[in-house]
Structure 1
Amino acid sequence: MISKSTIDKVYETARLEEVIGDYVQLKKSGSNFKGLSPFTDERSPSFMVSPVKQIWKDFSSGKGGNVVAFLMEHEHFTYPEAIKHLAKKYNIEIEETEQNDEQKEQANERESMYLVSEYAQKYFSDILWNTELGKAIGLSYFKERGFTEETIKKFALGYCLDNWDSFTNAALEKGYQIKYLSDTGLTIVKEDAANPANSKKFDRFKARVMFPIQSLSGRVLGFGGRILTNDKKAAKYLNSPESDIYHKSKVLYGIYHAKQAIAKEDNCYLVEGYTDVIQFHQRGIENVVASSGTALTPEQIRLVNRLTKNITVLFDGDAAGLRASLRGIDLILEQGMNVKICSFPEGEDPDSFARANNLEEVLEYLKTNSKDFIQFKASLLIKEAESDPVKRADTVRDIVNSISKIPDRIQKEIYIQECAQIMNISESVLFNTLAQIDKKEVSDTHKKVKEEQKAQVFNVVKNEEVGQKVDVQFELERKIIEILLLYGNSPQEFEDLILKENEKGDLELEPEKIEAKVYEKIFLDLQDDEIELGNENFRNIYSKLIQELNENENFSINTFIAPLDQEMVSEISSILMEEEKYMLHDWARKEIYPKKKEVTIAQLTNETILTLRCFLIKRRINALQNETTKLENDNREILEEIMNYIHLNTLLNKKLNRVLS
């Protein structure tokens, strides 16, 4: 168990915008930051971060919360994992109380797999640095590749001994269960159905140098292992199998070390292999990741898209592989990203080129040879179709098909013009071809929608209301929670209303000045009127808020929401970030300037409570009127009560400067 003092220190130290900035490219928007949602596939920002309130809200998915809630949502951390991650980031020493056996058993399976993977990384690194065979074979290989000791340690590279079960036995001796060694793919178990005790256990990565594959937050998800012998039966590179924590289609090698550089440089270099990434890093170019030999996937592209809109794909000088690799370009374009392509000289790859040239030379080469995808694709394909009209037509159609993937219409038009110039063909022909492709896609989509509608033809929803009425009580109760969160401990001068008789004997509301904290004013007013919040969520938050404000003079939203459950945290973040939602529309750029609220805290508090009172009085009047229609006997008492409520409602609305019909 992590001590409370450590948790408090983490919340005091961690800066939400810094932590989220490791995962999402944030841009300043007034006093807040905005960016693309890390939880949904979107092209317009709907993700807001408030440094002042230290909360975030994702308006596309509805998620929100504080810094810990973000890590729990994005990285699927448990609460303790999120605290430990932040403590590590901000160099905070973790104080822990001793866990008993029962608590240890409660660790979930995913966490057990993470722990096994992290142990494996440390084991392989230890073998590399501290054993004779590790140094002679593994370390020698990495140094031959030109990696410095600092680089080897930075990427936590390692070595698995050329023994059948050295790692497995070491892990079992440390208390790690064979189930999780098998689930992570580190150990291969061959069951003996007749006699389970004779089941054989093998190290998957036997006699391989090891490349740990890390998540965006730095957790070890799996491994890549390279064999060092010339065994033609064995794969040169071997990756961890798919598991609950490792999905190769959603991971990019090097993203953990590259994320800050990608956001800073506003560009990501995409390469193919582990050593390409490591060599570029060592040369001083850190905004580089690898797809690790797998075909590029939309999930991998979206991982980069959160950090930058710009990708430069680096290809080996092997012309044969270029054609196949171009298929990934269309996927990048579909995500609305800007793509450049750079190929290296014949026989070179990013690894060898970075090793043979200094930083300035590599950067200059990348700058000079990075071409727009249209230029690159045209120059590559036109060579194959130079003297063949049919192939040339196919090449043009191929390029236009890529252009059709781009969501932005202006970009499409510019690329069509560029393609016409390069291929020496009229723009009108290309636009017609583009229109045909777009029409076919629309037709296919329409056909798919019709088929889905046909399948759901019997699922008819009857009597569905077209519009939803505004729930006045809900909105007012929500506003009360917002006021308590933002201004609860603020001392204010309020104008209270006291019901008194005037000289004529009529009841009037007389103003009286009082000084009180906002939470005291709200609590006393609701208590005097015997008002209980109708919404269960708001009622729970309200009671916790009043207690916290009453007990803690140094109230902060961050520490208040720390121990709350995720549902309550999400609700609070939605309340606090409601107005920030409108900043996403960037009205100023459209020369629309919403009028800013200029209202005091005391006035806002009074008006909200008075409005709620008026609403509840009106509802009570309606209830009493319905009661009179049901009663056959004398209902003068009820009518008198109704008149009193009407009079009070009139007085309150007069105070609110409202005219009643």
Structure 2
Amino acid sequence: MIHKSTIDAVFDAARLEEVIGDFVQLKKAGSNFKGLSPFSDEKTPSFMVSPVKQIWKDFSSGKGGNVVAFLMEHEHFTYPEAIKYLAKKYNIEVEETEQTDEQKEQADERESMYLVSEYANTFFQNSLHKTEHGKAIGLTYFKERGFTEETIKKFGLGYSPDSWDAFTSEAIKKGYQLKYLEKTGLTIVKEEKQFDRFKGRVMFPIQSMSGRVLGFGGRILTNEKKAAKYLNSPESDIYHKSKVLYGIYYAKQSIAKEDNCYLVEGYTDVIQFNQTGVQNVVSSSGTALTSDQIRLISRLTKNITVLFDSDAAGMRASIRGIDLILEQGMNVKVCSFPDGEDPDSFAKQNTLEELTTYLDNNVQDFISFKASLLQKESKNDPIKKAELVRDMVTSISKIPDVIKREIYVQECSRIMDISEDVLFNTLAQIRNVDAKDQRKQQKQQKKTLEVVKPDVQKAPKVDEQFELERKIIEILLLYGKREEEFEDLILKENEDGELVLEPEAHTVKVFEKIYLDLQDDEIEFTNDNFKEVYTILIDKLHQEEDFKIENFINHTPPQIASEITAIMMNEERYALHRWHDMEIHVKQKDYTVPQYVSDIILNLRRFLISQKVEELSQKIKAQTIEDNQETIQDIMDYQSLKKILSQKLNRVV
């Protein structure tokens, strides 16, 4: 258990916009920040962060909460892990009591796999730095590659002993279960035997954006022809190759700061660049680039620069990746290195200034790069040149933005000396074929899934009581402690003996007004979440003079915190649509708090009366004529009360 003092210190120190800024590129939007949702694939921002309230809301997925909730959602942390991550980020010492054996057993499967991976990372590092074999073989190899001691430790590089079960047997001795060693792929189990997957390899831990070890890459140091040079952890519940980028943990802040990401092929490319001083670099870890990996980068920047080896295989792989990057709406540039050089060797032989100067001077637009590369292959052959042009236009067709497509067509026309009309016609043909293929695919999916068309005539019914209860919680959260002058309309008899509504003003805090009004009418919340929030809120507002929403959210259960965040961030939705820029001005409720409060309470009363009238109307059908008279009178009384409430509402509005 983590002590409360540590949790409080973490919440006091943590700045939501800083923490989320490590994972999502945020841009200022008034007093808030906005960005692309990290939980869904989208082109326009629906993710909002409020530094003042210290809460976030993702309008595309409906998720929201405080800083801990973000880490739990995004990184799949447990609550204690999220607290520890923040404590490490803000240099706070974690005080906790030792877990019991029973608590350790209760850790879920994914968590157990993370723990095994973390232990493996420690084991491999200790093996590299603290064993004679590790120093002689592993450490010597890394130093021959030009890596300093500092770099080796920064990237957590390690060594797996050249023994069949050195790691496995040690892990089992430490209490880690064999089934989790097998599920992470660290151990291979065959019949009653088990052995280490990465036997005799130098190790590269692969980390998530938050630094959690997900898997490993291992390089063999012998010349065995049957053994793969590089070996990666297999797919597992925590490691998905297509969704991970090597080095993203170390590069994320630099990528956001530089507004550009260098994309390379291998582990050592990333490490060497980083050691030289260029930190905004990641690798697809030797696998083909995927859409998920590109979207991971898009959270931090819209600009990717692909760096590749001068060999033909490296160039062809880069061309395939370029089309995929364009398809995701990203801006892409490319840079190749001199013959016989790759990012690793070039960075090793040059200073930071020389490296950055070379990158700046040799970076190319993808059209220019593709033209120069493919022109070498065509060698003035008209047919090959025609294929080259079509290939370039195919790449342009992947770009979602119409304006960018037109600019690239013009550039292609200039470089290849072909009329724009011909290129635009070719572009239209390619996009038409792609559109037809897409429609055909969608039709096949519909048939397969046997999709039933929704009945467009039936609009979803609004739960009026839910909305009204939600508004009351919203008022308490936003304005609960504010003192306002309320004007209640009281029924009084005038000189002619008629009952009329007369205003009566009094000053009271908003939460007191709501509490007393609901208590007078004996109104209870029907939604369990709202009922719980209301009870806690009223109690806090009564007892705490310096009540703060962020403190309240930080100490509520995740489900309740999520509901509160959704309420608190509802107003921020307007900023996403930039209505103010279009001179559509949204009226802020805090200008008319007393009217707003009275309006909500009166509407809730009126709704409950309508429900009661409906209930009594149904009751009449099952009663005798004698009983009906009394029920009819009750209905008339309620209708009269409803009429008075309507009059009050008209006066309030």
TM-score range, shorter chain: over 0.9
1:346 to 333, 339, 343: 339
CA shift, 1:456, in A, is: 5.8
Distance 1:631 1:90, change over 3 A: farther
Partner-residue secondary structure (3-state), 2:44: coil
Partner-residue secondary structure (3-state), 1:212: strand
Letter paired with 1:346 = D
**Pair 1:429-2:429 in alignment:** no
1:244 to 228, 237, 251: 237
Are the counterparts in 2 of residues 500 and 508 from structure 1 also a CA contact under 8 Å? yes
Distance in 1 separating the partners of 2:456 and 2:413: 52
Give 1:16's aligned residue: 16
Are the counterparts in 2 of residues 508 and 651 from structure 1 also a CA contact under 8 Å? no
After superposition, where does 1:247-646 map in structure 2 within 5 Å? 247-455=240-448, 459=452, 465-597=457-589, 599-621=591-613, 632-633=625-626, 641-642=634-635, 644-646=637-639
Letter paired with 2:300 = L
CA shift, 1:430, in A, is: 1.1
Higher alpha-carbon deviation: 211-220 or 67-76: 67-76
Give 1:222's aligned residue: 215
CA shift, 1:10, in A, is: 1.9
Letter paired with 2:532 = N
CA shift, 1:638, in A, is: 5.2
Distance in 2 separating the partners of 1:429 and 1:354: 43
Q: Provide the TM-score with structure 1 as the length reference.
A: 0.93
Q: Percent identity?
A: 69
**Pair 1:43-2:43 in alignment:** yes
Are the counterparts in 2 of residues 36 and 46 from structure 1 also a CA contact under 8 Å? yes
Are the counterparts in 1 of residues 248 and 282 from structure 2 also a CA contact under 8 Å? yes
Partner-residue secondary structure (3-state), 1:34: strand
Higher alpha-carbon deviation: 124-133 or 101-110: 124-133
Could you report, residue by residue, the CA deviation over 1:95-127 in whole angstroms, capped at 9, with x for unpaired residues?
Answer: 212322211110111111111111111122122
Unaligned runs of 5+ in 2: none
Higher alpha-carbon deviation: 219-228 or 28-37: 219-228
Letter paired with 2:353 = E
CA shift, 1:606, in A, is: 2.3
CA shift, 1:155, in A, is: 0.8
Are the counterparts in 1 of residues 595 and 652 from structure 2 also a CA contact under 8 Å? no
Are the counterparts in 2 of residues 483 and 605 from structure 1 also a CA contact under 8 Å? yes
Distance 1:13 1:504, change over 3 A: farther
Could you report, residue by residue, the CA deviation over 1:45-84 in whole angstroms, capped at 9, with x for unpaired residues?
Answer: 1111111222111111111111111111111112222122
Distance 1:73 1:324, change over 3 A: same
CA shift, 1:650, in A, is: 4.4
Are the counterparts in 2 of residues 493 and 514 from structure 1 also a CA contact under 8 Å? yes
Distance 1:516 1:456, change over 3 A: same
**Pair 1:163-2:163 in alignment:** yes
Partner-residue secondary structure (3-state), 2:235: coil
Partner-residue secondary structure (3-state), 1:292: coil
Distance 1:502 1:618, change over 3 A: farther
Letter paired with 1:3 = H
Distance in 1 separating the partners of 2:20 and 2:358: 33
CA shift, 1:651, in A, is: 4.2
Distance in 2 separating the partners of 1:182 and 1:452: 36
CA shift, 1:627, in A, is: 6.2
Give 2:105's aligned residue: 105
- Aligned pair count reads 652
Could you report, residue by residue, the CA deviation over 1:158-201 in whole angstroms, capped at 9, with x for unpaired residues?
Answer: 1222222222222222222222222212222222xxxxxxx333
Could you report, residue by residue, the CA deviation over 1:544-568 in whole angstroms, capped at 9, with x for unpaired residues?
Answer: 3223333444433333333544333
Could you report, residue by residue, the CA deviation over 1:372-429 in whole angstroms, capped at 9, with x for unpaired residues?
Answer: 1111111111111132222111111111111111111111111111111111111111
Partner-residue secondary structure (3-state), 2:608: helix
CA shift, 1:19, in A, is: 1.1
Are the counterparts in 1 of residues 263 and 281 from structure 2 also a CA contact under 8 Å? yes
Higher alpha-carbon deviation: 618-627 or 281-290: 618-627
Are the counterparts in 1 of residues 599 and 652 from structure 2 also a CA contact under 8 Å? no
Give 2:147's aligned residue: 147
CA shift, 1:640, in A, is: 5.3
Q: Provide the TM-score with structure 2 as the length reference.
A: 0.94
Letter paired with 2:114 = Y
Higher alpha-carbon deviation: 97-106 or 298-307: 97-106
Distance 1:78 1:262, change over 3 A: same
Distance in 1 separating the partners of 2:583 and 2:365: 34
Could you report, residue by residue, the CA deviation over 1:329-354 in whole angstroms, capped at 9, with x for unpaired residues?
Answer: 11111110000000011111111111
After superposition, where does 1:62-81 map in structure 2 within 5 Å? 62-81=62-81
CA shift, 1:655, in A, is: 3.9
Distance 1:200 1:644, change over 3 A: closer
